[in-house]
Chains A and B, each alone.
Chain A
Amino acid sequence: KQEVTQIPAALSVPEGENLVLNCSFTDSAIYNLQWFRQDPGKGLTSLLLIQSSQREQTSGRLNASLDKSSGRSTLYIAASQPGDSATYLCAVRGAAGANNLFFGTGTRLTVIP
Chain B
Amino acid sequence: DAGITQSPRHKVTETGTPVTLRCHQTENHRYMYWYRQDPGHGLRLIHYSYGVKDTDKGEVSDGYSVSRSKTEDFLLTLESATSSQTSVYFCAISEGGANGYTFGSGTRLTVV
A-side residues, CB < 8 A to B, are 4, 31-32, 34, 36, 41-46, 49, 51, 89, 91, 99-106
Contacts and interface: CB of A to CB of B under 8 A. Distances in A.
Contacts of A51: 98
Contacts, number: 55
Contacts of B105: 42-43
Main secondary structure of the interface of A (DSSP, over half): strand
B106 A101 contact: no
B48 A104 contact: no
Residues of B in contact with A, size category: 20 to 34
B107 to A, nearest CB: 10
Contacts of B104: 43
Interface in B63-99: 90, 92, 98-99
Nearest to A31: B98
A71 B56 CA distance: 28
Nearest to B91: A43
B103 A36 contact: yes
